[in-house]
Amino acid sequence: EKVDETSRTGYHFQPPKHWINDPNGPMYYKGLYHLFYQYNPKGAVWGNIVWAHSVSTDLIDWTALAPGIYPSRQFDVKGCWSGSATVLPSGVPVVMYTGIDPDEHQVQNVAYPKNLSDPFLREWVKPDYNPIIAPDSGVNASAFRDPTTAWYGPDRHWRLLVGSKVGGKGLAVLYRSRDFRRWVKAHHPLHSGLTGMWECPDFFPVAVHGGGRHYRRGVDTAELHDRALAEEVKYVLKVSLDLTRYEYYTVGTYDHATDRYTPDAGFRDNDYGLRYDYGDFYASKSFYDPAKRRRVLWGWANESDTVPDDRRKGWAGIQAIPRKLWLSPRGKQLIQWPVEEVKALRAKHVNVSDKVVKSGQYFEVTGFKSVQVYRPTFASFVNVDIARTKTIALRTLIDHSVVESFGAGGRTCILTRVYPKKALGDNAHLFVFNHGEVDVKVTRLDAWEMRTPKMNAPAQ
């Protein structure tokens, strides 16, 4: 099989070939970041889904291992779909995922590492008591999937969510367990909305600013029931809407006693909420990184060219650059920013300062090789208090077929896929345009060539 390298990425996460989709079970264990992801080992279109597995010490250089979870039993014979990792208080990581059984029913399974002293967590054991959660009679068995990371309540019960729907209503179905083995459905879902199927729910706490300096730090889902901490946190519920292929989140409060989640006032007047990203970003999942006390968000960006193009290229799909995620000081939205490790890839630097771009004019930023033309196909708004900030800031990561932008310090994010045919290598140029009606002054522009990390070279 041939792989067309033309628009493959330089530093965004990609395997050497074939189809990828959702990030699965991200976690940090014994000094390594683990990323699993939906993968077709046989081709560049969706199908034959396994959990491919890669590890990294810095979220930048990645080593590919053999798939961690793949169809092997009745309860997952037709596919191993999305799921999450939970690191138990004992330090043992557990994976929960959706298996497709012989009747095409979606069931939830658990898997444990075979050897806890292996930091690579190469082999996973699926207990015979799987599935741990099967769709009951009231549930549509083909709309019941993507278990979240579990959290522990003050009543000493574990909880997790499964994405589902009833009629046109999306559901985050809540299950409880004392022993992580026997799970009982709660009488009401944690939350629901008139949006169609909820895929890939994610539910986690975020620190509230409260005047403190530490509001950017992440909070572990396992700390959810800690009283003292609970008073300084809000909760985020994110869902992926399979009808529109967009993701929405709300910020709100979570009552541990009643297991109710209530979005804050600003999020209550519609069934949607805010978007993580106004471009191509789906089936995302966050995890708590204890090494840097931050919450990190992974999201999948599909190709936006055609399926025949994907087959011809021999690959499809990338993961966005992992983003650190925190609550804005006023608590009205989340802020996302590429993890700081990305800066280590910066090479040759070019800068421009105090340059006026008249209305309708442009200038070229010279001194690079191998950058590409930026053709935006998505747009959104960003709230900026220009009287206070004086400037509008934009950070953009350009990487062959990916343009990932963070407006006003990470308040509005847009990931776009682009497939230039001519603007390749030395034919690629970087321009600053002013399509507005008034002149704009570029007070500061910094640009770097980016080095290519080790991207999924197989383990030795």
Pair 118, 98: CB distance under 8 Å: no
Q: Any contact of residue 277 with ligand DQQ (CB under 6 A)?
A: no
When asked if residue 98 is in the footprint of ligand DQQ (CB under 6 A), the reply is: yes
Interface positions, 131-150, toward ligand DQQ (CB under 6 A): 145-146
- DSSP-assigned letter for residue 344: G
**Tokens representing 191?**
């939350």
Is 280 a binding residue for ligand DQQ by CB under 6 A? The answer is no
202 binds ligand DQQ, rule: CB under 6 A? no
Q: Which is nearer to ligand DQQ, 163 or 252 (CB)?
A: 163
Total binding residues for ligand DQQ by CB under 6 A? 13
Whole-number Å distance between alpha carbons of 180 and 201: 19
Q: How many CA atoms lie within 13 A of 312 on its CB side?
A: 7
Q: Could you tell me which of 22, 84, 5, 65 has the C-alpha nearest to residue 317? A: 22
Nearer to ligand DQQ, 145 or 159 (CB): 145
Q: Does the footprint of ligand DQQ cover residue 246 (CB under 6 A)?
A: no
Which residues, in sequence order, are CB contacts of 126 under 8 Å at separation 6+?
A: 69, 72, 73, 75, 76, 109, 110, 111
Is 22 one of the catalytic residues?
yes
Among 81, 124, 267, 272, binds ligand DQQ (CB under 6 A): 81
* Alpha carbons 95 and 93: distance in angstroms, whole number: 7
**Residue among 78 and 145 whose Cβ is closer to ligand DQQ:** 145
| Least Cβ distance, residue 414 to ligand DQQ (angstroms) | 19
Q: Are 52 and 67 in contact (CB under 8 A)?
A: yes
Closest residue by beta carbon to ligand DQQ:
81
Phi/psi of residue 115, nearest 5 degrees: -135, 105
Q: Which of 4, 22, 128, 446 is catalytic?
A: 22
Output Rg (C-alpha) for the chain, integer angstroms.
22
247 binds ligand DQQ (CB under 6 A): no
- Strand segments, DSSP code E, in 167-291 are 169-177, 183-185, 191-193, 198-207, 233-241, 246-255, 260-263, 274-275, 282-289
From candidates 49, 121, 345, 430, binder to ligand DQQ by CB under 6 A: 49
Residue 341 near ligand DQQ by CB under 6 A: no
CB of 337 to ligand DQQ, least distance (A): 24
Contact 190, 203 (CB under 8 A): yes
Instruction: Give the residue with the Cβ less far from ligand DQQ, 219 or 320.
Output: 320
| Residue among 22, 247, 277, 280 that touches ligand DQQ (CB under 6 A) | 22
Q: Does the footprint of ligand DQQ cover residue 80 (CB under 6 A)?
A: no
Q: Is 38 in the site for ligand DQQ (CB under 6 A)?
A: yes
- Residue 283 is a binding residue for ligand DQQ (CB under 6 A): yes
Both structure tokens of 327: 């609550």
Q: Supply the residues annotated as catalytic.
A: 22
Query: Which chain residues interact with ligand DQQ by CB under 6 A?
Result: 21-22, 38, 49, 81-82, 98, 145-146, 199-200, 282-283
